[in-house]
Structures are given as C-alpha cells and as structure tokens.
Amino acid sequence: MRAKGHAGMALLITFAILSLLRLTSMESIITALLTVAAVTIPDIDIKLEIKHRKYTHNILAALILGLILALIYHPLGWYIGFTAGFLAVMIHALGDLFTIMPFAPLWPFYRKEISLKWFRYDNPIANNAFLTLGVAMFFTYFLFIYTDTGYMLIDVVREIIRILTTS
C-alpha cells in the first residue's frame, strides 16, 4: 500500500480503538498519533535496497521498532513508544496483506508467505478510501469525546430514518 493508505489505516484503527475503549487521556492520543507517524517506516527497505517486505514487515520488526521508540520516547513513558512502534509495523503489514506481493507477517514464528491479492499496492481507490476513512474516524473520535456533535449527528440520522420509514 502507498504511504497515504497506510496512514489512513493507522488513523482508522488507532482512533477506532480509542473510541471503542473510550480512551481520552493525552497518553492514549499521543500513542495513536505516534503510531500514525511511524506507520510508513517498514518501507525503509525500499530506500535501503534490501529485499522488500522481508526484514521490516513482520512481528519481529514490530518488537524491534517498539523497543527503539520506547528508548527514544521514554520520557513520555516507555510503553507509549513501545505500543506505537509495535502497532505501526503490524498495521503496516496488515495493509500490505491486502495487496499482491506475498510476505511473512508473523516471521520468525510462522514462516508462510501470504497475501490476499485484493488490489495492487498503488490502487488509487483503495488508498484513497483508507485515507478518507482514517481522517473521518479521527474527527469522529474528537466529535464524540469532546463535543455533543456526535450525539447530535445520531439524532439527525434517527430523524431521517424515522421520516423515511413513516412516509
């Protein structure tokens, strides 16, 4: 997947988790934003000209990036950097799983190379859809947590459904 698709998917997943678990602390928001910021790091293998999707797209790389970010961001609390680094690589791998080129996301625990082949990594519809959903999820979280807008939206939708079903 392209960078914008990965960023969108990271926004979508992290802010959906925050919304569902009703996490509102500054720590949880920073962890989510750090995850989004780090989500394209696995594609550094292209720049380094090492085998693509081999060393940087698996659970071992997720643990290593977690440790690196835990060290860098330890003044914030080591678990923030660790969670962000680990989630960033796993969410990146999840995004690439939808595309054509197979790889082993659970290496070294499970070596089988897999891919769902739903779309090409550069498919514009898929990448833009993830970006749009991610940005929408991000704003939805803040609307629901910090304002009444989310509940007002629900009321509006309810009212529309009521009008449509009674006519």
Using CA atoms, how far apart are residues 80 and 70, in angstroms rounded to an integer?
A: 7
Q: By C-beta, is 46 or 161 nearer to Zn ion?
A: 46
Least gap, CB of 6 to Zn ion (angstroms)? 7
Helices (H), ranges, the chain: 3-20, 26-38, 44-48, 59-72, 78-97, 124-146, 149-166
**Cα 27 vs. chain centroid, distance in angstroms?**
17
Q: By C-beta, is 50 or 160 nearer to Zn ion?
A: 50
Q: By C-beta, is 19 or 115 nearer to Zn ion?
A: 115
Least gap, CB of 143 to Zn ion (angstroms)? 31
Q: By C-beta, is 32 or 96 nearer to Zn ion?
A: 96
Q: By C-beta, is 34 or 41 nearer to Zn ion?
A: 41
Peptide bond into 108 cis (omega under 30): yes
Binding mask 43-62 for Zn ion (x = CB under 5 A): x-------------------
Using CA atoms, how far apart are residues 102 and 117, in angstroms rounded to an integer?
A: 8
Name which of residues 90 to 129 contact Zn ion (CB under 5 A).
Answer: 96
Q: Is 6 helix (H, G, I), strand (E, B) or coil?
A: helix
The interface region with Zn ion, picked from 38-46, 63-71, 78-86, 154-162 by CB under 5 A, is 38-46
- Measured at the CA of 132, the angle between CA 160 and CA 99, to 5 degrees, comes to 125
- Backbone phi, then psi, for 93, in 5-degree steps? -65, -40
Least gap, CB of 92 to Zn ion (angstroms)? 6
Q: Is 108 helix (H, G, I), strand (E, B) or coil?
A: coil
Count the residues of the shown chain that bind Zn ion, applying the rule CB under 5 A: 2
The binding site for Zn ion (CB under 5 A) comprises 43, 96
